[in-house]
Amino acid sequence: AGYGFNKSHAAAYAFISYQTGYLKANYPVEFFAATLSLDIANTDKLAVFYQDARRFGVKICPPDINRSMADFDVENGEVLYALGAIRNVGFEAMQSVVQVREDGGEFKDIFDFLERIDPKAVNKRAIENLAKAGAFDSIHPNRAQIVQSADILIAYAQSVAAERASSQVNLFGSSEASRPRLPKIANNSGPDSLDDELAAVGFYLSGHPLGSMLDVFKRRNVTLFAEAVALAAEGQEAFRMAGVVRRRQERASAQSGEKFAFVTLSDPTGEYEVMFQPEALRRCREVLDPGKSIVVKVRCKGGREGEVRMFGDDASLMADTLKMDDIGLRLHVSA
């Protein structure tokens, strides 16, 4: 097509491709840990690699303040999610946290953590996002309490750091006696917790908002993404699918000027993109806002190298489409 590589250049790329394929096939856990670390600041790429790792059977454990490193790491055949990959925490700040842990041992609780870290490096937003991502779950399971008490917690960390800098201690020889009493706050659960995790990590890591709907999907003939890809490879074209809208990107056609959209959806098996052409977009736009759970009628077409392209013909809110699921008629016939 008017562009190509000379033989030496092509051979070099082929060798790199062979090395990459060999490592992925024979050392998948280490391969994905290294790949994720290379793009640690790019949440969109991390989401793609995470889905690829899942399809490859590699488990990625949620971040843990007492296990995770600043980078992605490997432990017991699993990838440990990097503290430095959490949004708005700062990679260097997480390196300092890991160093404190390695020097003084695991953090016993949230106050032990605050008493040992540098509050100039680990600020209020970092504490909030570490909690939302679940990094404190092993030492303080109530994520909501940490998030809503972040001002109190960072103030305590700053007071301890000031004491440490002036070499002052209280009557008990430490700052433990002045530990603040946190307000009683119910922990988030279900969708609220996952929404917080999404905000902090950039994608769903420990669960999915639609995870509890799997039985309903099965009864209502809703096909999950992973299954749809497999069936499309066998020739099936039409599917009824579901997902949480992650992104909607609208563009204008160069010929007609009409708008079409690429909508990224997420279900418990992965993320996928559906194209809505102008007519379908006009009909469905109001239900394609990010965060909404929808059911989509999809047509699949094969692309290059086995790629499956998805086109949306219709979409509706999941609550409206599946609300009839619980309505039924039972007939009891006596003998």
209-224 confidence digits (pLDDT tens): 999 899 999 999 999 9
- Is 83 among the domain residues? yes
Separation between Cα atoms, residue 203 and residue 295, nearest integer Å: 20
Average pLDDT over residues 169-177: 52
- Is 118 among the domain residues? yes
Identify the CA nearest to 195 among candidates 285, 137, 266, 248. Answer: 266
For residue 316, the model assigns a pLDDT of 96
Residue ending a domain, choose from 176, 201, 226? 201
Is 75 strand, coil or helix? strand
pLDDT band at 121 (very low <50, low <70, confident <90, very high): very high
Q: What percent of the chain has pLDDT over 90?
A: 71
Together in a domain, 174 and 254: no
Together in a domain, 114 and 182: yes
Together in a domain, 182 and 60: yes
Q: Does the pLDDT at position 177 exceed 50? A: no
Together in a domain, 242 and 101: no
pLDDT band at 148 (very low <50, low <70, confident <90, very high): very high
Average pLDDT over residues 26-37: 96
Average pLDDT over residues 308-335: 74
Identify the CA nearest to 70 among candidates 97, 45, 30. Answer: 97
For residue 226, the model assigns a pLDDT of 86
Average pLDDT over residues 246-256: 93
Q: Does the pLDDT at position 317 exceed 60? A: yes
Asked if 287 and 261 touch (Cβ cutoff 8 Å), the reply is no
- Is 330 among the domain residues? no
Q: Does the pLDDT at position 332 exceed 60? A: no
Together in a domain, 127 and 272: no
Asked if 126 and 92 touch (Cβ cutoff 8 Å), the reply is no
- Is 24 among the domain residues? yes
Q: Does the pLDDT at position 4 exceed 70? A: no
Together in a domain, 95 and 243: no
Residue ending a domain, choose from 134, 168, 201? 201
Q: Does the pLDDT at position 303 exceed 80? A: no
Separation between Cα atoms, residue 32 and residue 82, nearest integer Å: 12
CATH of the domain at 271: 2.40.50.140
For residue 315, the model assigns a pLDDT of 97
Together in a domain, 45 and 182: yes
Most confident of 161-170, 181-190, 256-265, 305-314: 256-265
For residue 248, the model assigns a pLDDT of 96
Together in a domain, 115 and 151: yes
Domain enclosing residue 47, as ranges: 7-201
The mean predicted confidence, pLDDT, of the chain is 90
Identify the CA nearest to 322 among candidates 157, 210, 237, 229. Answer: 210
Sequence-separated (6 or more) residues with CB below 8 Å from residue 113: 65, 107, 136, 139
Q: What is the pLDDT of residues 85-113, one digit of tens each?
A: 999 999 999 999 999 999 999 999 999 99
* Tally of CA atoms within 13 A in the half-sphere of 267 that contains its CB: 22
For residue 304, the model assigns a pLDDT of 62
Together in a domain, 187 and 225: no
Together in a domain, 78 and 188: yes
Q: Does the pLDDT at position 146 exceed 90? A: yes
Least confident of 3-12, 35-44, 70-79: 3-12
Least confident of 54-63, 164-173, 258-267, 318-327: 164-173
Q: What percent of the chain has pLDDT over 70?
A: 90
The number of distinct structural domains making up the chain is 2
- Is 231 among the domain residues? yes
Task: Enter the pTM of the model.
Answer: 0.80
Q: Which long-range contacts (CB under 8 A, 24 or more apart) does 185-189 make?
A: 185/142, 185/144, 185/145, 185/148, 185/149, 186/144, 187/141, 187/142, 187/143, 187/144, 187/145, 188/143, 188/144
- Is 302 among the domain residues? yes
Residue ending a domain, choose from 134, 167, 201? 201
For residue 261, the model assigns a pLDDT of 97
- Is 309 among the domain residues? yes
- Is 34 among the domain residues? yes
Together in a domain, 46 and 89: yes
Sheet holding 60-61, edge to edge: 60-61, 78-80, 73-75
Together in a domain, 239 and 312: yes
